[in-house]
A = this chain, B = another copy of it.
Amino acid sequence: MKTIGFDSHNHDACISDALGIATDICAQQKLQFTPVRRRVLEILLHEHRAMGAYDILEVLSSEGLGSQPPVVYRALDFLVKHGLAHRIEGLNAYTACAHLDHEHVPAFLICRTCKAVAETDTGIAQGRLGQAAASAGFTIEKVVVEAEGLCPSCAGAAA
């Protein structure tokens, strides 16, 4: 349950590690890790930030990889569906998964100032929400947990 995103780290290695794991995952599941899909994941990895679909499209477009919305939405759908990226509901935005190496229910800490995203893990469905669901007879299929606030560096800058 390590939190990634606000601490500094070897980011080039971080990116290439993630791309390697993603490549393996796609190979194992016989998924096509096409140029557009790979590039979108790279773009998301490059920032540890939430990016809007149209922000990503702008980059793709400048590289000749597609200029129409469906191109990026399809790539994002693929990445999200297979757990390589996550959608941040509170921002209508997307971020690369920071825990590619294991199954998880992601939870996010999102800086409202710089949009940096830290992904952590939560056993939320086993906690109070799980109890409430059970007692209501509700079957949970998917959980969104997002905390918005100030990251350490933005909090420091404001002080």
Contact = CB atoms under 8 A, between A and B. Distances in A.
Interface in A129-158: 129, 132-133, 135-152, 155
B132 A120 contact: yes
A5 B123 CA distance: 24
Given A120-B129, A135-B3, A137-B152, A145 B142 contact: no
Interface residues of A, number: 42
Nearest to A142: B148
- The complex is assembled from copies of this chain, and their number is 2
Contact of A128 (B6, B89, B123, B135): B123
Interface string A1-42: 101011100000000000000000000000000000000000
Interface of A: 1, 3, 5-7, 89-90, 107, 109, 111-112, 118, 120-125, 127-129, 132-133, 135-152, 155
12 contacts: A1-B128, A89-B146, A107-B128, A118-B132, A120-B129, A124-B128, A125-B147, A136-B151, A137-B151, A138-B149, A140-B149, A143-B148
